[in-house]
Structure 1
């Protein structure tokens, strides 16, 4: 621990941690073995940072949520192992309006100046690029990619391995394995390259999934259509995952279908 750092009595610091100059660590914080806080990092309140995670200068973790209903309740943040949090990232603690915890999974990368609002739940292997803004209660599935400057409305769900294009505004839920883009984000195809690379799918298998997504949107009421489509794609785990996601409407429906749907078998992979 650098002599210019301040670690409050009661903080639990694991073996091999490095706490650089100007860092402030609260009494309720838990740093698991090998965590590195480079310099001028603030860890406030009930925060647990997983083993081997690395936090770059001027990031803040666990400060109170930007929620006028919050009255100082004992909420917190949990960050998974080996996650990297770059410069000026802000991660706010949970609120009583959610489960009380903001959660970020293992092996994630949060790039500079990204914001993670209260009660967000982010899966493993997620990449959040510079200046992304996540409002409260956003859910992001494993290995999703949110590109630079995108803004995600509160309570929106983004499925596993989905891709959100830079500068997009996401007001509705994003299907697993899909790509969305636009000032008001619309469905723009599948993350086909990512599906082939990470899941080992053939192009023909990806086309089946693409056809299911077309069928899902064709009737105009995808939450209801998903139920009717299940028998036709029974046994296809990816399609069943997509249809199950579509059925769980939550507070928002799905992003609308875009005019660029002819790109269904293209796109960039993560």
Structure 2
């Protein structure tokens, strides 16, 4: 079924299966494909070339960026699983070129958390994972099957979160970090960190990820030295980070320093 200008600007053309329910007010971009038995709510905006497979629900005040693909039985933009939520108007904003696989759930924000759950570009959410209210996810993040991000988490660029893992509310995970499978993360994770074990232990650096990204040998050497200083230096963890910032000329090490000295509602996973 071809629909021309479906509740959108003149000239918009989308393929919408006749069994799909598109409520009045929904904005459907050019080149979208919406499969059978989908439900698109009245406050939903789909960018251009969004693909929605069969049996998907997109509801709430939700924006989906260009060329994002959403697979069967995902529920995107439902209200938060937070008993403090009182029906206030909040939203979910998903960027471009994301792949959201089967049974993924993403909730809108809450008034107490700023009102917006936000997902960046080029992320992969594997089957069954959950993104809770007010979570902020950057770009090129991979969340593996059945992992769950609790409310207010911040996930920076290029993070990988292993399958069946859980991230506690308000936790920050720094860019380039990797979380092993079946891991509970209850405190902030430094950029480029490697976390594993059932109760989340900071075991080193994500060296494989750094090498795959093409980080120079000198920067990797600087990161190793920085990790050693954070693990064994004198003073409290933040004091070691401040000294590290005064001594380093590596941008990668500076990312770690800035992260440790930034605002947080949690403590840190520290080297053993």
TM-score by length of 2: 0.91
Unaligned runs of 5+ in 2: 1-15
Residue of structure 1 aligned with 2:184, choices 143, 147, 169: 169
User: 2:236, 2:162 → 1: CA distance?
Assistant: 28
- Contact 1:223–1:249 (Cα < 8 Å) also in 2: no
Identify the residue that residue 261 of structure 1 maps to in structure 2.
Answer: none
1:38 to 26, 29, 53: 53
TM-fit CA distance, 1:221? 2.2
Matched, 1:150 2:165: yes
CA deviation digits over 1:89-132, x for unaligned, max 9? 00011001112111111110000000101000111100000000
- The partner residue of 2:206 within 191, 195, 200 is 191
Q: Quote the residue 2:13 is aligned against.
A: none
Equivalence for 2:229: 215
Distance 1:191 1:244, change over 3 A: same
- 8 Å contact 2:219–2:250 — kept in the other structure? no
Question: Could you tell me which of 245, 250, 257 is aligned with 2:259?
Answer: 245
- In structure 2, how many angstroms separate the alpha carbons of the residues matched to 1:166 and 1:193? 16
Residue 24 of structure 1: how far off its partner (Å):
0.6
Residue of structure 2 equivalent to 1:13: 28
Structure 2 distance, partners of 1:44, 1:221, is: 46
Match for residue 122 of structure 1? 137
| Aligned equivalents of 1:107, 1:128: Cα separation in 2 | 12
The residue number in structure 2 matching 1:77 is 92
Deviation at 1:30? 0.4
SS of match in other structure, 2:111: coil
Residues 151 and 220 (structure 1), Cα distance of their counterparts in 2 relative to 1, 3 Å cut: farther
Distance of 1:221 and 1:247 partners within structure 2: 12
**Aligned pair 1:101/2:116, yes or no?**
yes
Q: Tell me the distance in 2 between the aligned counterparts of 1:193 and 1:88.
A: 30
Runs of 4 or more consecutive aligned structure 1 residues displaced over 4 Å after TM superposition:
none
Tell me the matched-pair count.
256
Would the aligned equivalents of 2:35 and 2:54 in 1 still touch at CA under 8 Å? Answer: yes
> Quick check: 154-163 or 177-186, which moved more?
177-186
Structure 2 Cα separation of the partners of residues 16 and 251 of structure 1: 42
Match of 2:150 in 1: 135
Displacement of 1:249 in angstroms is 5.1
Q: Is the contact between residue 159 and residue 174 of structure 1 (CA under 8 Å) also seen in structure 2?
A: yes
Structure 2 counterpart SS, 1:97: helix
Q: Residue 93 of structure 2: SS of its match in structure 1?
A: strand
Contact 2:133 2:152 in 1 (8 A): yes
Q: Which runs of 5+ in 1 are unaligned?
A: 259-270
User: In the alignment, which residue of structure 2 is the partner of 1:257?
Assistant: 271
- Cross-structure match for 1:179: 194
1:224: how far off?
2.6
Q: Could you tell me how far apart the structure 2 residues matched to 1:9 and 1:220 are?
A: 61
Per-residue deviation, 1:85: 0.3
